[in-house]
Amino acid sequence: MTVPPVVDLLLIEDNPNDLELTLRALKRQGLADKVFSVKDGAEALDYIFQTGAFAGRPLSAPPKVVFIDLKLPKVTGIEVLRKMKSDDRTRSWPAVILTSSRQERDLLETYQLGANSYVVKPVDYDQYAAAIGDLGRYWLLLNQRPLR
């Protein structure tokens, strides 16, 4: 698993179709060249905290944003968010919840844990692509954040 030297977007998504749609929408906006994806919550935590398969991953600037699906195998997206936001090294990383869940409890819990945004994935392809394009442009091009 080759990690690019600079990752602007860490995409945590287990559904191969949603992953493909997301990457396609980002590519259409010219934003896909510094995206790294992982397929479950355990792999996400390994990447974020440089353990497991990512032990020894070169230190670089943190991602500009992390897109987290909630319904992940092994470790849920809520648990990934909880661990990320409770660690001083990763607390400032912007986290966008990108999910199919419309549950009020998920929305409330993720914001209480420090999520920066909560987006319900549109079912329609064109709406999904537009939403991902908007998110990508905002978080990768417009949003300003500290380097660490």
Q: What pLDDT, on a 0 to 100 scale, did the predictor assign at position 138?
A: 94
The pair of structure tokens assigned to 123 is: 């079912």
Cα–Cα distances (Å) from 101 to 10, 22, 64, in that order, read 20, 17, 24
The verdict on pTM exceeding 0.85 is: yes
**Residue 61 to residue 70: CA distance in whole angstroms:** 25
Q: What is the pLDDT of residues 19-30, one digit of tens each?
A: 999 999 999 989
Q: What is the pLDDT of residue 126?
A: 92
Residues 32 and 5: beta-carbon distance below 8 Å: no
Round to whole Å and give the CA distance between 3 and 133.
23
**Residue 84 has which token pair?**
């990320």
What's the pLDDT tens digit per position in 32-90? 889 999 999 999 999 999 999 888 877 677 899 999 999 999 999 999 999 999 999 89
CATH topology of domain 9-142: Rossmann fold (3.40.50)
Task: Supply the DSSP string of 32-60, one letter for each residue.
Answer: -TTEEEESSHHHHHHHHHT-GGGTTPPP-
pLDDT in tens, 84-110: 999 998 999 999 999 988 899 999 999
